[in-house]
Amino acid sequence: MKKEIKKTALVTGASRGIGLAIARQLGLDGYNVVMVATGTREKNSAAISGLENLGITVKYVQADISKTEDRQRVVREAVALFGRIDVLVNNAGVAPAQRADLLDMTEESFDRVIGINTKGNMFLTQAVAKQMISQEPIGERRGVIINISSCSSVVSSTNRGEYCVSKAGISMLTTLYADRLAREGILVHEVRPGVIDTDMTSTVHEKYNKLIDEGAFPIARWGKPEDVANAVSALASDKFLYTTGNYIDVDGGFHIKRL
Ligand SMILES: NC(=O)c1ccc[n+]([C@@H]2O[C@H](COP(=O)([O-])OP(=O)(O)OC[C@H]3O[C@@H](n4cnc5c(N)ncnc54)[C@H](OP(=O)(O)O)[C@@H]3O)[C@@H](O)[C@H]2O)c1
């Protein structure tokens, strides 16, 4: 009888927030999980053991996805331990260190945000896609890539323009890779979170509390990391085998235009 191969999911930015929830959910779905973040293993030991305590097989890789050598090492270490990568979730991302009006935005901040959010995702996807192509397909496909962009892909915030541009770039790289990789048996999806309660939004809690109270979000609450993780889990499953290059909003209906 043929031994069933256990699939592996690689999740960037998995030390906290949305990425940690995704890593946990995919682990519970039965994947080996490769968690990637910039901090040391020691710093993220609670996050790692939280998953291990649920019976999930975890590999932690400390890496900065904006660096070429780090991206290559992530793939190397994942494959060395688990033999393959079946799901890539490009979740790691940063906001500008300081929100500044578009007319005061610095090149330094632009380069940092684009370097991680857009360039990092673009080239990690390239490296993982090549790995996936070299693998034997399991079932109908060779792999799934899920990009976490943002409502900011299409919504203007003039006090963090570099973030919006970086996320719009992720939407286009979703389209590009979906087109190129379909023939390789690899599907590519995009998830656009709205306002999710994590460290990233902790500095603007009051602002978003007010927006929620004023009815800006049809589903009038903060999004939870698990809301995004559940969407990722569904897209990574075998339920979307004839879908690629699409996005799904996980934003409480924020994208709905009203009159
Ligand atoms: N929260 C929201 O409302 C919201 C809305 C829309 C979209 N998003 C997007 O969702 C994703 C996750 O957001 P979050 O709110 O969970 O953010 P978060 O709480 O700030 O966590 C960010 C994660 O990304 C990792 N990371 C940052 N820079 C990295 C790099 N250069 N290389 C590798 N890992 C890196 C961090 O690792 P360390 O722990 O090592 O720093 C951390 O694990 C981001 O792409 C964000 O843009 C968030």
Asked whether the beta carbons of 18 and 148 are under 8 A apart, the reply is yes
Backbone angles phi, psi at 160, to 5 degrees: -155, 55
Q: How far does the centroid of ligand 1 lie from the alpha carbon of residue 13, in Å?
A: 5
Residue 257 lies in a domain: no
Residue 226 lies in a domain: yes
In whole angstroms, give the CA distance from residue 159 to residue 162: 9
Task: Please tell me the predicted confidence (pLDDT) of residue 251.
Answer: 98
Ligand 1, atom nearest to 20 Cα: 43
**Cβ(22) to ligand 1 under 6 A?**
no
Residue 206 lies in a domain: yes
Asked whether the beta carbons of 6 and 31 are under 8 A apart, the reply is yes
CA angle 113, 35, 51 (to 5 degrees): 135
Residue 56 lies in a domain: yes
Tokens of 61: 């890789």
- Is the model's pTM score more than 0.85? yes
Residue 259 lies in a domain: no
Ligand 1 pocket test, candidate residues 111, 200, 217, most atoms within 8 A of CB = 200
DSSP for 9-53 reads EEEESTTSHHHHHHHHHHHHTT-EEEEEESS-TTTTHHHHHHHHT
Tokens of 32: 């080996």
**Residue pLDDT tens, the chain, 259 long:** 566 789 999 999 999 999 999 999 999 999 999 999 999 999 999 999 999 999 999 999 999 999 999 999 999 999 999 999 999 999 999 999 999 999 999 999 999 999 999 999 999 999 999 999 999 998 889 999 999 999 999 999 999 999 999 999 999 999 999 999 999 999 999 999 999 999 999 999 999 999 999 999 999 999 999 999 999 999 999 999 999 999 999 999 999 999 9
In whole angstroms, give the CA distance from residue 150 to residue 228: 11
Q: Domain of 79?
A: 8-249
Task: Please tell me the predicted confidence (pLDDT) of residue 81.
Answer: 98
Any idea what the CATH number is for the domain that residue 195 is in? 3.40.50.720
**Cβ(199) to ligand 1 under 6 A?**
yes
In whole angstroms, give the CA distance from residue 211 to residue 215: 6
Helices (H), 91-204: 107-113, 121-133, 161-181
Task: Please tell me the predicted confidence (pLDDT) of residue 139.
Answer: 86
Residue 258 lies in a domain: no
Asked whether the beta carbons of 121 and 113 are under 8 A apart, the reply is no
Residue 255 lies in a domain: no
Q: Which residues are catalytic?
A: 163
**Cβ(175) to ligand 1 under 6 A?**
no
Q: How far does the centroid of ligand 1 lie from the alpha carbon of residue 4, in Å?
A: 33
In whole angstroms, give the CA distance from residue 10 to residue 25: 12
**Cβ(39) to ligand 1 under 6 A?**
yes
Q: Give the three-class secondary structure for 240.
A: coil
What is the tally of structural domains in the chain?
A: 1
**Cβ(121) to ligand 1 under 6 A?**
no
Ligand 1, atom nearest to 152 Cα: 6
Residue 256 lies in a domain: no
